[in-house]
Structure 1
């Protein structure tokens, strides 16, 4: 399941919601309905009814009043992967990256992708360090991540100097 949007709250009094779409073309979220909650407990048909400065307005099946719409605030909406379009070779769904092993260019383990964040400029991979709860944010650029191999479940990273903790000084010259 791929997260394609999130409900930001009620819009009006007739059950419409403010909707954040995570699709490249925001209104395309309507094409992937019915959408489900993360746990699969609820499913919604969706009809986009308008556009706002920071999102869309939509009517969800079974949501008929402001109180029901407000109760869904923060709910993430998911679509099955097979309903979504294929991507070019150099693009990935965030869900496909989470869980990948991260290796350095020499094949050494750096960690595992725990999450993917985007705060506007570029995607950031949150890498959980091996045997630790600590994480490091790695820019998801061609320079920092030259290879993504979904089939092998790994990506190769060439991180900026000093981003990852030193591995005990083994790479320092004598």
Structure 2
């Protein structure tokens, strides 16, 4: 049986529960040692009441199932999470390409220092580490890194 190709589309209100549940599974798989300051129900409410209605939220839809999510704010890639079984299959690459297309002037993002796979992924996509923190500024109290991506033409003209 051939699995459908993921379709990237904007998230809508009916997606909120599936998106939040994907976030919960992905966070647990990728960051098992990182303390999560919110309960599952609080995470679901946040996606339902804040993320989906107020942020530019994209999902990867595979035959009606959500395989990944991307959330963009002004100039920030604030969320990129994949269903664990979809990692390593090019879906994250597609989301980053979409984020760069939607924010052509540049992007910033934060990731935890312990998340080596995410750090390598973003560095492979041209993001540069701009700031390291001790974690005192985030809810998880986990050391993190701010990454920045600027398009080549902008970076060259700045030199």
Pick the TM interval, shorter chain: under 0.3
Larger Rg computed on CA atoms: 1
Bigger RCO (CA 8 Å, 6+ sep)? 2
**TM-score, scaled to structure 2:** 0.24
Query: When you count strand as a share of all residues, which structure comes out higher?
Result: 1
